[in-house]
Structure 1
Amino acid sequence: MQFQRLRVVGFKSFVEPAEVLIEPGLTGVVGPNGCGKSNVLESLRWVMGANSAKAMRGQGMDDVIFAGASGRPPRNHAEVTLTIDNTAGRAPQPFTDAAVLQVTRRIDRGQGSTYRINGKEVRARDVQLLFADASTGANSPALVRQGQISELIAAKPHNRRRILEEAGGVAGLHTRRHEAELRLKAAETNLDRLDDIGRELESTLVRLRREARHAEKYKKISAEIRALQAALIWVRWNDARLAAAAAAEALAEADLAVAAGTAASTAATTRALAAQEALKPAREEDAVAAAVLHRATLERDRLDMAEQAAREELERLKGDLARLAADLEREAATAEDARVELARLDETLAAVHAEMAAAPRRSPALETALVAAERSRAAADTEVERLAALAAAVEARLAADATRRRDAAARLGRAEGALSAAEAERTALGPVATPELDAAQGALDAAQADLATARETLETAEAGRAELA
């Protein structure tokens, strides 16, 4: 097989499609450092099945795709196609009859590589075997890369043997032998697994035979049980038939008894209706008595509240009378002191006038004394006016107390009217002898007694007020 053409698209620095013609004889690629000479060799190794990203001088296989530049965007795939002349028919089956072989490898970013030979998708292993039979490949010593000469000189015997085998054209045989050994080992592993499965199937067969014997025994016992159940069901059916006949007779007797009971029930219902009609007047009287009792209870509660208010008002009036009496005594004493002081001041003023008339020489001193006496008289007048204002305030409070007394008398009159109305209602009801009415009557008597006590207290307070006035 003879290499004819290498077409590179998007591989490393080859962003645009590029072709390298491999003519018979010696073909060389010449250029300065960094122009991509090593990328041509790496693309050839890559299309022949190289699977080491480190051998491609990258961290991952996606690094072989053009990563972009300042003026060009990155590519999402890379593709290398190697055209091989197979006119000698040295390619393995099924490619022996093809005159030209086109081996293509394409990689999409993040999706891995795909291989094709003459447009037909194949495995990476098929491509590697194709080139191994031709005594070449991605890892062939015939592809000399940078630093490989020194590696060949210092190579170990095993690596040297691999070089000699490839030169002798048996590298493909070793590759196929290795693949055959792997298949043989897989077949041995499958045979061991089949032995294990056979042993498991034998144990399962023994278990299934045992279960089959149990199933046969179960069928026989089930048939016997079904026969016994049929006999038992017939016996129960016969007993049920006899019991049904006896129940029918009992039902007929029960129907007769029910008819008699229905007649008795109808008669009892008629008597009950008559008794209910007789009870209606008594129920109406009971309802009236209950209504009267309820109204009397409400009236009693209202009288209790009025009595409590009257008692509180009396207590307040008593306190006001006591305070007014104390104020009157204090103001009377103050007025008496003022009158005494005024009398004394009048006497002093008269004495001063007499002295002024009798002693003209002492007029300056006497005038001074007169001014002082006038001042004392003015202070006494002020005190008299204050006492007069206090007396007016006391009279106003006495008027307010009189108003409150009239209000209390009015409330007392209303309470007496309500009490009279309650007594009239009680008289109209007549002597209804029920425990509730007796209790209401007792409460009413107690309320009347409390009202009489409140009336006496009010009269006593009015008499005390009259004495104070």
Structure 2
Amino acid sequence: MKFTRLRVLGFKSFVEPIDLHIEPGLTGVVGPNGCGKSNLVEALRWVMGEASYKNMRASGMDDVIFSGSGNRPPRNTAEVTLVIDNADRTAPATLNDADVLEVSRRIEREAGSVYKINGRDVRARDVQLLFADASSGAHSPAMVGQGKIGELIAAKPKDRRALLEEAAGISGLHNRRHEAELRLSGAEQNLARIDDVVAELDSQLDGLKRQARQAVRYRNLSGEIRKAEATVLHLRWTAATAALKEADEALKEATALVNGRSDAQGQAAVAQATAGASLPDLRDAAARAGAALQRIIVAREQLDSEEARINERLADLGRRLAQLGDDIAREETLVADNKAILARLDDEEKELEAANAAMTERQATAADRRRTCEDSLTASEAALAELTGKVADITARRTQYERSLIEAERRLENQRKELASVTAELDRLGDSQSVEAGLRERSEAVEAAEATVKSAEEQAVAAEGTSAAARDRTARLREPLAEAERTLSRIETEAATLVALLKSSRTEAGTPLIDIVKVDNGFEAALGAAFGDDLDSPADAEAAAYWRLVDRSAADPSLPDGVEALATHVEAPAVLARRLAQIGLVAREDGTRLQSMLKPGQRLVSREGDLWRWDGYIATADSPTAAAQRLATRNRLAELESDAVDAGKLQRERREEMEEANAAMRAAEEAERAARDGWRQAQRAIDQARDQLA
């Protein structure tokens, strides 16, 4: 890939457009620190598809846009264009229609970047593949910056492999493989979503089937209920009709009876008028007739009330019949609606079954395609790995053979020249005895020199093997040394952080007692719960709050039987002795039981940080106190100091081994250089002997 021109506009410090022509040969940019030389390299990386703003030394990708100065306003856009010579037409097929490729990237604040090739919008992936196919790009080892040579020398085998792959021109294949893997991953995610959709449709189908069964059951039960209600209503109507007939007959009988009694009353009245003389005799009969009349009147009233009740019952039955008619009409409407719903559900069930069958076929097809793609990808990866190894092997052997061929041709040419010279000399001198003796002597010198060269070459090869072994040992020891240094640095960093956390503000009065007290590991929470924030006060009377030494008294109560004093696990100044003597250490399950046995001023604590005080106050260990955390931090700092000593010792041992390996490597390199110097001297001696022979 041949770059011809780089155009920068609004990128970082380049507020004005600049054109950097890259002519054949070596193009350099010279200037003082801060003039923008590194910005040119970053512009080149940026236009090649760099997506990390951290690699651009910025807090955001918008920071690559010129942000303004004292006399220049900020810009809203930035653009970088890279012109590539494509005369040999080695670009990808989609971009191989022009002799020149102009790759540009333009960014606008809060709008993102836009890539273009020859004025046509493309993806960032297309630009990255374009440069990856040419063994270049934003992350290519060909972009050598500060410290890059050291990184390449100390690179791990994985990084060296990436360098060799790019040198072999297959980095673009890796990018395409990564893109294919992303597509396969997307396909797998789509298949997973399809499975979720199918599962959801299956659950919906089960629900619809259940609803259909419920609708059928509801329809059957509704029909049976309607039949039962109709039967009950018919029975009630039949009973009401019979009762109505009986009431009509009773009414007719009562009416006839009333008429007969009325006639009898008329006759009795006539008889009373005509038989006034017989009044006393008839008074009794009249009384009896009045009583009978009264009974008849009562019976008539009863019949009237029964008639009213029957009429009311008939009206109620009429209303019930109308209501039954309305219920029958409503049930018929519900039956029609249910039939429509069932028909729609049947249609939906058929559609779902068809969709399920089609989905099953598509899922099987997709699974077959996925297996085919996976098999193809596995075969491609195996073939790629095999071809990569073969290409590297062939490239190495080809280079070795080319060097051997060039050396052999050079030697053959020298031998031919020497042979021609010797032949000419023999022709000139003839077959004299002295010439033959000189030739034999010089031939022996040449053979001796060749033996010396061979021996020197063997020594050089042996020295080269020793040097390579020393370099390998140095490389193997470099990682343990780096690991030991990282461990020591991590421990020192954590210790420095803890020291910063423990650094308390000391007043003129003195140091807080919490910085003096020492507690055994595992008892920090107990001591913190027992004292709380009281340990933040010093033992100096000049402070606003301080501890004063008060001697223990014989009247001080003793802890309950079987309770261990916390003082056995704490090293503290004498001012805390009386307080520590009244603090007991118990198991957390025994604290509540022993709390009632405490005397005034006493308290119990557990290793977990629970507190039971003599006055009934209880504090659980759910929230550790600041004093407990500070004491735990101090103990952790002591452990880190011990670990730092061990890590420092290990680092020194690793460094000594590394220095020994470096010394051995330097000695081996010196021996290799000496052997090569001896080989070169022997080579010069054989050349001189051959010259004398010639």
Structure showing greater radius of gyration is 1
TM-score by length of 2: 0.32
